[in-house]
A and B are shown apart, each in its own frame.
Chain A
């Protein structure tokens, strides 16, 4: 038996490895986006070194033209390539939404399955760095509302790597949302397997088992949910934490099995609460389990405002561990 030393790396490096592995496996994989080639390797350095290794024809720096970036990815995908397009910040999705929702998402359907769009849109998202209202949003609900798109939001480096490799080789367009604060922060680093560690889309992860309440989350808030669970464990409340990993496809079976057991659920995300993914998930849980629930499903999400700039206001916008603790306690009254 061999033992392997844990290899603790941050999400930024894990994502880089995923693209490196995919490009090494399949010459049809190529990257395009603003500033992604050397010398900078992207504003967040996620593609560092890849243009040197694979050439600037496969790691393509683009003009600041989001519609042209996604359009080029759509056309190349139909023609047999597997493009990975980087949209620097998720708020910029608004600039190319036509290409994403009217084209990437609908072309398989509109063509009756004759043409398909196997591409990934990687984008960084989330508040917490005082980037203000146009560089901080989590807009995954826009994509979930669009049939034809898959939506992935990883919560840790190992998942980010495995889910990104799967997304690149997925036959459908995937919006891959990367929580910006987790890229290089060592507190979010974890043991990441060497090599191809593909994780299937549509398979949630039960991060922590419990019996009294189920907290369902994704992305960075999974860590806050675990912290809340730790706090409540000291008070005798046993909290199960589910990391959805992917919103489309949704692992509804895992969610419903857990809530059937605990009879209480809290959905947590950073995005604006109103019409956020929590609204959909809460509704689904109620539809399936209404008669067995001990309390209505609670939602913990961002405030229904643009993301503010001032540090205190920004912190007030983002759901905190204490908010999750309070929501769980409210279900146990």
Chain B
């Protein structure tokens, strides 16, 4: 059982809320993959399956006016932060009704009303930008927190080093969540990274850092809660390394020949979402009927979003030159 039993676990409402987010991510991902496999849709797709508990674990601590920055494998973060399902699907499908009018696509989902402010397709680049959101909150004297997500691969790029150092020097209210799925694209962490744990790097910046089992929702909830509270209190940034596993490789269609079959099989057998569901039931935190109702609701929500997106028009060609600048400059 992946989930920790602790006396100071979150309350039932929060536990169920976390499960709801996880299930929403899992269900959405499954629908994308099945529609891609059957040829109903075509798009570049980076599955977040296996990483659901991380997003759910930090998101339940956040307010709508807190900021989240993420990367191309960001569907789980988008949904956890509350990006609406319909607009999300429409954007993935390149439709005018999408979050970004179909002009950004899956790698650039943006929905400021939910606080999902940047999705970048460049490894590590969200880290320095997250500092800017943290700086804005610090200068304005608000207690808004920024959570920036990235993978283990990003911890080897310059932007990580520059950004972590600046956040520490300026005591910015930023939580750095390294979703360590053990692979950077097609290369295992052991072949690309000089430390065993990404959290070891926190010491280099004078930043509190912790490694947590990212597949344990309660452990993740605790780690995120402490880091977010520290940031909100003006006590500076934290690095959280959440260890997890990427079920479907780097990108849809990936042959995954670089991932040992047994390793992947074991990780998928320990799928954290059904494991958490079972834990909730075993410990009396939820009833079967309650969870089934949530799951049905999510399936209906995805059905609705798919229909909405598939029936939405592509953007007008007039949109080609809009939003390059405030005014059209050719």
Which residues of A are interface residues toward B (Cβ below 8 A)? 30, 57-58, 62-63, 65-68, 70-81, 83, 98-99, 102-103, 107-116, 147-148, 150, 171-172, 248-249
Contact = CB atoms under 8 A, between A and B. Distances in A.
Contacts, number: 149
Given A71-B159, A114-B112, A76 B132 contact: yes
Contacts of A78: 117-118, 129, 132-133
Given A79-B117, A99-B125, 7 more contacts: A68-B131, A75-B128, A79-B137, A80-B136, A103-B118, A112-B100, A116-B326
B322 interface: yes
Interface stretch (B25-33, B160-168, B181-189, B242-250): B160-168
A79 B128 contact: no
B162 A115 contact: no
A65 B110 CA distance: 27
B56 interface: no
Given A78-B118, A115-B112, A248 B329 contact: yes
A204 to B, nearest CB: 15
A75 B129 contact: yes
Contact of B128 (A71, A83, A109, A111): A71
B21 interface: no
A107 B111 CA distance: 12
In the A-B complex, the 4 residue pairs with the smallest Cβ-Cβ separation, listed nearest first, are A75-B132, A71-B128, A79-B136, A112-B100
A71 B133 contact: no
Interface of B: 67, 69, 98-104, 108, 110-112, 117-118, 120-122, 125, 127-137, 139, 146, 158-159, 162-163, 165-166, 169, 322-326, 329
B325 A148 contact: yes
Contact of A98 (B100, B125, B166): B125
B132 A77 contact: yes
Contacts of B135: 72, 75-76, 81
Given A75-B135, A112-B103, A150 B325 contact: yes
17 contacts: A58-B139, A63-B169, A72-B131, A75-B132, A79-B67, A79-B117, A102-B125, A103-B122, A109-B104, A109-B324, A112-B110, A112-B323, A114-B99, A171-B325, A171-B326, A172-B325, A249-B329
Contact of A65 (B67, B99, B146, B162): B162
A75 B147 CA distance: 13
A77 B136 CA distance: 8
Given A73-B132, A115-B110, A98 B159 contact: yes
A248 B328 CA distance: 12
Contact of A112 (B104, B158, B159): B104
A12 B214 CA distance: 53
Contacts of A65: 162, 165-166
A63 B120 CA distance: 24
Nearest to B174: A75
Contacts of B69: 75
A108 B162 CA distance: 24
Nearest to A71: B128
Nearest to B122: A102
